[in-house]
Each structure stands twice: as structure tokens, then as C-alpha cells.
Amino acid sequence: MIRKTLTVCLTIAALALASAAPLSETSLYNLESRWSDQNGTVHRWADLRGEVRVVALIYTHCRSVCPAIVQQMKETEARLSPAERKRVAFLLVSMDPEADTSDQLRHFAENRQLGPNWLLLRGKAADVRELASTLDFKYRKNSNREFSHSAMITLLDADGEIVDQQLGLGDGSSERLRALSKLLAAPSP
């Protein structure tokens, strides 16, 4: 009984210590904005620590590049081993929070068959601009409600550091997989 309690206490303590380790100055998770996901749950960036993350900004009614971006991310996921997949999460942030309501995001996730390790976030317009600026992602809303924007996929390590960034579609999967494997192979802190 005592041993069990001790184990539980120690585990909690260890986890607490791990997450309390200060973020590096350049981590994306220094941003203080709040976002809600496809299920209505609110997230802060600091909560996302602990998993390697593949990130992109899209909008659900995009007909040109965003579908290809999401497809590339899905391909990356498919090529991971089951063990690796447990440690990698995928994040899509909407650049059109007005049109992309929680419901809309949930429909999108269902249609594209995005699993439980996919987070789709929406937030305030100013916060989207801030996130984009941090990633060097360019976008603008055109008068026809479509967006002109970069094609970009970013890889963050478990502490929110930008490890790899792919600009343009290209033949992204192989490069990203290499970067991901390298990241996952490194001993976790």
C-alpha cells in the first residue's frame, strides 16, 4: 500500500518536475494565446509540451494547397511505426476562425479521417497573426473570402522548438520523415 502510494507520488513529482523545466527562449510555446479545438476544449501552448508536433496553418474551405498539405501530413503519419506514432501529434490551426467554427473543424477532421492525435484549433484573429509571424508564415484574406498564403509544414520538438520547416509542397515527406526520425531517436529529456 505504502509502496503504491510512494510510486504514485514519485511519478506525479517526476511529471511535475519535467513540465516545470523552463521553456527555452525560442520555444513557440512561449506564446500566451488561448485556442479552442474541434471539441470545444480550450488549450494554451504550454499544455502542448511533451509530444513532437507537426504543425500547419490552413483553412477548411481552401481548394488549392491546404488539402495537399493535410495529405502530406497524413502520409507522414502513415509511414511512422506504431511506437513512433504514439509520440507524434498533428496540429492544424485555422487562419479563418470566423468560418472555421468548432463544428466546422470537427466535420473536417471526420471527413479527412484525422485520428485522435490530431488537434484542430481556432482562436482570435490577432492570435492567428501572432502565430503566423512566429512561424514566418504569410497569409492574407482576399475580398472573395479566400486566402492567399504560404504552403508550409513545421516540425516542433516536444518543447516547442522549431526543428524543421518545409516551405512549398515539393517532395516533403521524405525530408520530414528524416527529421522526425532523428527527433524521435534522440533521448527524451
- Give the cell for residue 165: 520547416
Q: Please, are residues 112 and 74 in contact by the beta-carbon 8 Å criterion?
A: yes
Print the binding letters for residues 63-92 with other proteins: x by CB under 8 A, - otherwise: xxxx--------------------------
Among residues 144, 185, 187, 189, the one that binds other proteins under rule CB under 8 A: 144
Of 98 and 110, CB closest to other proteins: 98
Q: If you ran DSSP here, which 8-state letter would residue 99 be given?
A: T
Q: Please, are residues 33 and 124 in contact by the beta-carbon 8 Å criterion?
A: yes
Closest CA to 166 of 156, 178, 175: 175
Among residues 168, 178, 182, 188, the one that binds other proteins under rule CB under 8 A: 168
Written as one letter, the residue type at 123 is G
- Give the cell for residue 43: 488549450
163 binds other proteins per the rule CB under 8 A = no
- Give the cell for residue 150: 504560404
**Count of beta carbons in the 10 Å neighbourhood of residue 34:** 14
- Least distance between other proteins and beta carbon 184 (Å): 20
Between residue 2 and residue 31, which ones bind other proteins under the rule CB under 8 A?
Answer: 25-28, 30-31
111 binds other proteins per the rule CB under 8 A = no
- Least distance between other proteins and beta carbon 123 (Å): 14
Say what the alpha-carbon torsion angle 12, 184, 87, 162 is, to the nearest 10 degrees.
Answer: 90
- Least distance between other proteins and beta carbon 12 (Å): 29
Binding region for other proteins (CB under 8 A): 25-28, 30-31, 62-66, 125-126, 129-130, 132-134, 136-140, 142-144, 146-151, 167-170, 174
